Amino acid sequence: MTPGFIVIRDTTQAAAIPRGAVVAMGNFDGVHLGHRAVIAAALGMGRTHGRPALALTFEPHPRRFFSPNTPQFRLTDEAAKLRLLAGTGLAGAVVMTFDKVRAETTAQDFIYHHLVGRLGISGIAVGYDFHFGKGRVGSPSLLVNEAPRLGIEVDVQPHVDIAERPVSSSAIRMALAEGLIADATAMLGGPWFVSGEVIHGEKRGRDLGYPTANIRLDKNCGLNHGIYAVRVGRGTERIDGVASFGRRPTFDNGAPLLEVFLFDFDGDLYGQTLDVAFIGFIREELKFDSVQALVAQMDDDQARARAALAAAPGAFPKLGVVD
């Protein structure tokens, strides 16, 4: 974990912004391997010149501003993204509000007034396909061209491939939508995770011998409905388990809910916030003709989940502490 990870926002006073920092700029949804290459470049640049390295990102995600009525499956909300960024070794993050004013800011104004003027950066790392400014005119090549007159260093990272396929947030969303947890994990560089507060449910799991911690995920979560091997974080504690995400077709076919059965655990979790990391996909969600058939399948699910987790000891996203 990175001690002292700071978050700089639009309202942060200029005196609190470290001048001369290096920034890794991007939306960083998921903080996947492509993002991590940009972050590594910024960290290297910072070490070379004795400067702190920060992430520069935007909230809400620009897609939400430009397409407010289109459902957006985010891999990481703002809090999760910052925790992942804090786990990379960065000194902090600059979170810029993406609104109408930001969308209308020209690329040149963004570079001169925000990057150089307000933040006073000494260097910047970006991915090969990152664009910014009004009309997405800002590009890596524009930064490279402007760098000499601004006296800043620019590092443009190429795409990262796995099995000859480019790593991207959209590719990870597609993998999760198909239950391809191993593919998503490979592109992320670690397990995908969600965080949420444990809420009261129908208590059916308790009656079946499988009491669950229930978490309501974002309504736009595109994770495939099914059964998963999971590793749960409660603070620094890690607890293995098996989870169902879906509509419970055997019972009520209701709103999607994440239901987590923790192995060898006995305690009250209501109101607590858990991190749930998805380690393996067990099977699709199914409708059963009887409760007995469901319980028999749950017994098998538990055994398969235990085996998957035993094969991935310690697998969990590297999260930092955000001040």
Residues noted as catalytic: 259
Dihedral sign, Cα of residue 185, residue 186, residue 190, residue 195: negative
What DSSP element (H or E) covers 144? helix 140-150
Residues 281/301, Cβ–Cβ less than 8 Å:
no
Give backbone dihedrals phi and psi of 322, rounded to 5 degrees, phi first.
-105, 125
Alpha carbon distance 87, 182 (integer Å)? 21
DSSP state, residue 292: H
Number of neighbouring beta carbons within 10 Å of residue 297: 16
Q: Which tokens is 73 given?
A: 């499956």
User: Going by C-beta distance under 8 Å and a sequence separation of 6 or more, which residues neighbour residue 236?
Assistant: none
Nearest Cα neighbor of 285 from 311, 256, 312 is 256
Quickly tell me which residue has 């960083």 as its tokens: 28
Q: How does DSSP assign 155-194, residue by residue?
A: EEEPPPEETTEE--HHHHHHHHHTT-HHHHHHHHTS-EEE
How many residues comprise the chain?
Answer: 323
Question: Which token pair is 109?
Answer: 């104004």
- Contact, 198 vs 251, CB < 8 A? no
Strand partners, 242: 229, 261
Q: How far apart are CA 164 and CA 154, in angstroms?
A: 27
